């Protein structure tokens, strides 16, 4: 016998959903330290229709994924019909409203639920279209509704996808993109390493931490690497509670679309998931636009450093997470 789906106005469920989320989020933070806990799904929207359940996304760093799933499996029932591609879902049907918990890796292939929520929050037209699908399937077959829902989200998926760098990705293509991204700075007399580094250096820098790439139509158009604390060339970077940024770049053909901001957002999420208190970065003291960008994002000046591999004095910034 097929399962049927029913919808109601989100306003009738919001109070209970918000109260349960507060309780569940507190418990999840104890079970999965450093995870980013997101209220997702229709009950996180300001209006519209909902099945009346609460969806919670638990976003973790790759190294914390298995432990997070094990911790949740100990208290929740597995949900094979949930969000399972490159992620795991759990449920608790005894709560009011029913609870779904979805574990994903930050910047992994399935780390999309919070982005879908943000897109729907920002676009009343898309919320209305989504509600029309729900009305069409009200009291209808759940499987058919899920197929229509998946088709809707596939169609509206933002053009830019963020994911972790994969070993199958082309290092030479990434090197070429870095060269293009830093070419203007090089023309202005600032010899950033990324403006001329070879493939071996690109690979070394990609592998020094967690590298995130921005992809459009299968092409890498941006990248950023988050490095864990280590014995780097400045004492600030060596602090145990400070992660740092490496080779932030966006292809010139795609600049001005907010891709750099999205990469920075994800990098800060990764650093938080590691339990870092700060995220640091350095840039040329002559690159006014980059200095301004860091300042606008809440980074404060914490020092200067000089390197033989570049021809400028660097300014060092850090942001409290």
* Structure confidence by residue, pLDDT tens digits, 83-112: 545 689 999 999 999 999 999 988 877 888
Dihedral over alpha carbons 111, 114, 119, 120 (to 10 degrees): 130
Question: What CATH number matches the domain at 4-158, 3.30.460.10, 2.10.109.10, 1.10.1060.10, 3.40.190.10?
Answer: 3.30.460.10
Coil vs helix vs strand at 105? strand
Dihedral over alpha carbons 97, 100, 101, 102 (to 10 degrees): -150
Dihedral over alpha carbons 86, 26, 275, 165 (to 10 degrees): 20
Coil vs helix vs strand at 142? helix
Q: Report pTM.
A: 0.74
pLDDT of residue 307: 80
The boundaries of every CATH 3.30.460.10 domain in the chain are: 4-158
d(CA 196, CA 185): 11
Residue ranges in the chain whose pLDDT is less than 70 = 1, 81-86, 158, 231, 233
pLDDT of residue 1: 59
d(CA 114, CA 291): 29
Supply the DSSP string of 53-83, one letter for each residue. Answer: -EEEEEEE-GGGHHHHHHHHHTTSEE-TTSS
The boundaries of every CATH 3.40.630.30 domain in the chain are: 162-320
Do residues 263 and 247 make contact, with C-beta atoms less than 8 angstroms apart? no
pLDDT of residue 202: 98
pLDDT of residue 160: 86
Question: Under CATH, domain 162-320 is a member of which superfamily?
Answer: Gcn5-related N-acetyltransferase (GNAT) (3.40.630.30)
């Amino acid at each position: 016998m097929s399962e049927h789906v029913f919808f109601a106005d989100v306003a009738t469920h919001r109070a209970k959903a918000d109260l349960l989320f507060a309780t569940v989020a507190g418990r999840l933070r104890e079970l999965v330290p450093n995870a980013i806990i997101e209220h997702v799904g229709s009950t996180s929207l300001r209006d519209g229709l909902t099945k009346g359940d609460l969806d919670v996304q638990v976003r973790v760093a790759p190294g914390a994924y298995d432990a997070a799933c094990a911790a949740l499996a100990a208290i929740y029932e597995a949900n094979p019909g949930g969000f399972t591609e490159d992620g795991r879902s759990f449920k608790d049907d005894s709560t009011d409203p029913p609870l779904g918990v979805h574990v994903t890796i930050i910047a992994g292939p399935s780390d999309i639920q919070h982005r879908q929520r943000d897109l729907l929050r920002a676009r009343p037209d898309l919320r209305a279209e989504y509600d029309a699908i729900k009305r069409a399937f009200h009291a209808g077959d759940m499987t058919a509704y899920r197929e229509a829902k998946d088709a809707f989200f596939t169609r509206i998926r933002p053009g830019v996808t963020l994911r972790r760098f994969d070993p199958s990705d082309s290092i030479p293509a990434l090197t070429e993109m870095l060269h293009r991204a830093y070419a203007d700075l090089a023309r202005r007399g600032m010899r950033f390493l990324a403006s001329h580094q070879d493939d071996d250096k690109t690979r070394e820098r990609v592998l020094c931490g967690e590298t995130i790439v921005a992809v459009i139509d299968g092409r890498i158009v941006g990248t950023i690497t988050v490095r864990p604390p280590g014995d780097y060339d400045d004492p600030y970077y060596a602090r145990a509670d400070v992660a740092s940024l490496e080779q932030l770049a966006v292809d010139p053909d795609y600049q001005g679309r907010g891709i750099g901001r999205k990469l920075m957002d994800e990098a800060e999420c990764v650093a938080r998931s590691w339990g870092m208190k700060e995220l640091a970065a350095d840039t040329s003291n002559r690159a006014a636009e980059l200095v301004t960008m860091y300042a606008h994002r809440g980074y404060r000046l914490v020092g200067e450093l000089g390197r033989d591999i570049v021809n400028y004095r660097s300014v060092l910034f850090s942001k409290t997470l």
